[in-house]
Chains A and B, each alone.
Chain A
Amino acid sequence: MSGTRERIEPGQPVVEVEGLGARYGEQTVLEDIDLTIRAGEIHVIMGGSGSGKSTLLRHLLGLNQPVAGQVRLFGQDIARLGEREMLALRRRIGVSFQGGALFSSMTVEDNVAFPLREHTRLDENTIRIMTRMKLEVVNLAGFEDLLPNQLSGGMVKRAALARAIVMDPELLFFDEPSAGLDPVVSAELDELIIRLRDIMKITVVVVTHELESAFKIADRITVLDRGRILMTDTTGAVRATAHTRVQALLQRRPEALQLDAEDYLQRLTRS
């Protein structure tokens, strides 16, 4: 196991991305991505639908192989890790996918207990207590025995979050915490993310296209647009920026976001 689990000091880089490029078949989805995420911060990756946020996340997790560049987590280049080191690394990371990705054949409780059962030798009683504690944290106490298809969208997100944090990760990835949820539930989730960082000292990477939520929770924001990073800065700096395209995104001015004609034609003819 990861006995050499040296704790990362606040402010140290946890995620480092250099010159990352990604493609699905012929279509280039990410280009020239440089990004550093530091320990203890809540870092929001923001961008419109289809800008490549989830794809970037998949690369950070080592689920997709990049065509260019590299990703380092906790200082280790993930492309060079063997299976065993990758396993050790992944135990320090929690992930909540965009669709939740709960195991559909297991109850909520079994889903949350799954990492404990796989990676620890704790007895069932302890596992039960730890599972219920995490369900308590995400406000899902009392729903232990439901199956994922019996949950609402917000409950799925919270159950996925409980599973992501059950091993007390140092780094948490959360894809679209508030997409498709009503404002109250989404505000609850935002609070929850902030609380997690404050209490458990987790580094949190949130992917979202919800501006309000992004500005509320973020320490720093990375703005992603059509596969490129426009800027990475503190919330204040992003809000005050003179960058026209970022401003257009922030003020949701569709006309300014329209693609120029040539680009549009290129897109049409590419497929």
Chain B
Amino acid sequence: MYALTENLGRRVARGIDEFGYAALLLAESLYWLVAGVLRGQPVRLRAVVTEMMRIGVAAIPIVAILAFANGVMMALQGVYTLKDFGAESQVIPGLALSITREFGALIVGIVVAGRSGSAIAARIGSMQMSQEIDALRVLGVNPVRYLVAPILLAMLVMVPALTILANLMALTGGGLLCVLKLHFSLASYWEAVIAYLEVADVMQGLVKSLVFAVLIALVGCTNGFMARGGADGIGHSTTRSVVLCIAAIVIADMLFTLFLSR
């Protein structure tokens, strides 16, 4: 029993530790992104571009496919559910709103968490173990500026960009299904979508995606820096990073939706 509570206590302590660590990482990265230029130690554009390729460009195919499939599924469910009420045509506003406000960002969040949340933790974790992080420090290069800030910036650009792509692909998938099942023309489908959507709906999804971007960057980096104990440690912190990223995204999404749809 004692061991159990002690273990729990240690876990909580570690949780708080990591939370504080992540907050520091965020503050320090933002500091370097802004003040680095003034201090003559800017965040390297090349590093940002590399990260953007890894995080964003490489994720385009999978995001496109998943979003498209999701759009098809949502439209299908919508059509069948609404048919009972004879309200099939209402499927379009339902699709348009739930995709732009919710599912576009969520799909991207989960894909990026799975791809990059793990990769970031693994990369920084192995740099930690091979003393590359220490080497950066003694070479007078701040590891947060060099490693974390580019990741954060790349996330902030690419996750919303991917979200726009996911929105378009999901709406296209849903649209094709509507064309098949409801015998709309594709043009009138898009017209209806555009008529229903307001800028605020799209913005809601994009703001969420910015929050997801920050969460993935911080959780991935924190788990990397805190990795200890060889190959096992890296494996552990990689898994942990993905799980925590997805949990953080879903919980943040829920809170967001609760507050915004009151």
A and B physically associate: yes
- The chain A residues found within 8 Å of chain B, CB to CB, are 58, 61, 63, 83, 87, 90-91, 93, 95, 97-99, 101-104, 114-115, 118-119, 163
Known contacts A90-B140, A119-B140: A99-B130 contact under CB 8 Å: yes
Nearest-neighbour CB distance to chain B for A99, whole angstroms, equals 6
Output the nearest chain A residue to B50 by Cβ-Cβ distance.
A105
Tell me if B138 and A63 are in contact (CB < 8 A).
yes
A-B pairs with beta carbons under 8 Å apart, 7 shown: A83-B142, A87-B140, A90-B139, A93-B138, A103-B127, A115-B139, A118-B141
Which residues does chain A contribute within 8 Å of B130, judged by CB atoms?
99, 101, 104
Nearest-neighbour CB distance to chain B for A60, whole angstroms, equals 10
Output the nearest chain B residue to A175 by Cβ-Cβ distance.
B131
Which residues does chain A contribute within 8 Å of B135, judged by CB atoms?
95, 97, 101-103
Within B130-151, the residues touching A (CB, 8 Å) are: 130-132, 134-135, 137-142
Nearest-neighbour CB distance to chain A for B224, whole angstroms, equals 14
Which residues does chain A contribute within 8 Å of B141, judged by CB atoms?
118
Output the nearest chain A residue to B134 by Cβ-Cβ distance.
A63
Which residues does chain A contribute within 8 Å of B139, judged by CB atoms?
90, 95, 114-115, 118, 163
Which residues does chain B contribute within 8 Å of A101, judged by CB atoms?
130-132, 134-135
Nearest-neighbour CB distance to chain A for B30, whole angstroms, equals 16
Which of B127, B132, B138, B142 has the most A CB atoms < 10 Å from its CB? B138
Say which residue of A63, A91, A97, A99 sits within 8 Å of B140 (CB atoms): A91
- The chain B residues found within 8 Å of chain A, CB to CB, are 126-127, 130-132, 134-135, 137-142
Output the nearest chain B residue to A63 by Cβ-Cβ distance.
B134
Complex formed: what's the CA distance from A102 to B130 in Å? 8
Which residues does chain A contribute within 8 Å of B126, judged by CB atoms?
104
Tell me if B138 and A95 are in contact (CB < 8 A).
yes
Tell me if B132 and A118 are in contact (CB < 8 A).
no
Complex formed: what's the CA distance from A89 to B141 in Å? 12
Nearest-neighbour CB distance to chain A for B29, whole angstroms, equals 15
Which residues does chain A contribute within 8 Å of B137, judged by CB atoms?
61, 63, 90
Nearest-neighbour CB distance to chain B for A110, whole angstroms, equals 12
The 4 closest A-B pairs by CB, nearest first: A101-B131, A101-B135, A90-B140, A95-B138
Complex formed: what's the CA distance from A52 to B140 in Å? 24
Complex formed: what's the CA distance from A95 to B134 in Å? 10
| 19 other A-B residue contacts (CB within 8 Å) besides A115-B140, A118-B141 | A61-B134, A63-B134, A87-B140, A90-B137, A90-B138, A90-B140, A93-B138, A95-B135, A95-B139, A98-B131, A99-B130, A99-B131, A101-B134, A101-B135, A103-B132, A114-B139, A118-B139, A118-B140, A163-B139
Say which residue of A61, A83, A118, A119 sits within 8 Å of B138 (CB atoms): A61
